[in-house]
Amino acid sequence: MTSPRRLFLIRLLHTVIYVLMAASALLVLFAGLTGARGPWLAPALILVLVESVVFIGFGLKCPLTAVVARNAGGAPVSDTLMPERLTRHTFKVFGPIFVIGLALLALRWATGWWSAG
């Protein structure tokens, strides 16, 4: 596989993971805010928790960012297929979303305060 093709595939994988994690974080926040639950909540919660462990384990850095940098051969390139201006503040945006969503879920579970749905 050529290096540009490998780089594209790594960036594509990173983009898919990014979108999946963003959706999972928002779903956890939604569940925490509304009390909604369904078959989507457990996978979203697991993904958020696994992602948190990965980030903490890699010193608050995404391991795929380093993989992209290695495969870019020193060329400046975004680590996803999305514009850098959209991903630049990922931790500032999704960090609080993760924490608030998890805290609200914990509060709901601890108090038994769930909606009917």
Given this model, what pLDDT does residue 2 score?
A: 65
Residue ranges per domain, the chain?
A: 3-111
Q: What pLDDT digit, counting tens, does each position of 20-58 carry?
A: 999 999 999 999 999 998 999 999 999 999 999 998 999
- With a CB cutoff of 8 Å and minimum separation 6, the contacts of 35 are 108, 113, 114, 115, 117
Q: Which helix (H) or strand (E) holds 109?
A: helix 90-111
Per-residue pLDDT tens over the stretch 50-93:
999 998 999 988 898 888 888 888 777 888 999 888 888 888 89
